[in-house]
Amino acid sequence: MEVVKITPRLWRWTGYHEEWKQDVGCVYFETEDDGIVLVDPLVPPEEPERFLGTLDSEVAASPVHVLVTIFWHTRSAAALVERYGAHVWAPTTARAAVARRARVVTDVFRPGDELPGGVQAFPTARRTEVVYWIPSQASLVPGDVLLGDEHGGVRLCPESWLPDGTKRSHLASSLTPLLDLPIERILVSHGEPVLQDGHAVLATALDAA
């Protein structure tokens, strides 16, 4: 488990994913008025009690919101619902799949809908997946469509991960509107996060497609 404080209100942590067989990244965002937002949260199986004990003290009586990028990343949502009565947010296109894994979806949204803490969701060429944008933190939080490239940047996911008939060029086109955002950070789930010059890094990745 690794926990990194990115800003006073934004943290990223990793935990070992038993199916994926490697560490994956998750995001903690303390909003001004809406409580705590957790994106694709996984309780690290290597240190669950230590992690939850720390989270208990941070959450206190605040509302907890779990935002899911794609149903594969429902992860520990059910455990957080049981412990904190967390709200689970899912895109309309993934509602049923998230509900099967989390046992509940309390809030369904479409890209453009208002989300806790001013978070915004953007659609992708993967119909059931969205990318989150946290304006106050200048941070983009993707699920599977963008991966760390092991060289300090990001790359698009393999074409084999996309729906039949969808090419990497289609994925790149669907992500191009993100370049209108003042991106400083890209907090990927798979690989190392980008903590500066995120806009340029994303532009490079999309050009390479």
**Segment 104-155, tens digit of pLDDT:** 999 999 999 999 999 999 999 999 999 999 999 999 999 999 999 988 899 9
Distance between CA 73 and CA 90 in Å, rounded?
Answer: 11
pLDDT, one tens digit per residue, over 14-66 is 998 887 789 999 999 999 999 999 999 999 988 899 999 999 998 888 999 99
- CA-to-CA distance for 126 and 128, rounded, in angstroms? 6
pLDDT value of residue 1: 85
Residue pair 89/73 in contact (Cβ under 8 Å)? The answer is: no
Q: Which domain holds residue 42?
A: 2-208
- pLDDT-derived band of residue 69, with 50, 70 and 90 as boundaries? very high
Environment class of 143 (CB within 10 Å of its CB; exposed 0-12, middle 13-18, buried 19+): buried
In CATH, what number is assigned to the domain containing residue 124?
A: 3.60.15.10
Which pLDDT score is estimated for 145?
97
This prediction's pTM:
0.95
Structurally, how many domains does the chain consist of? 1
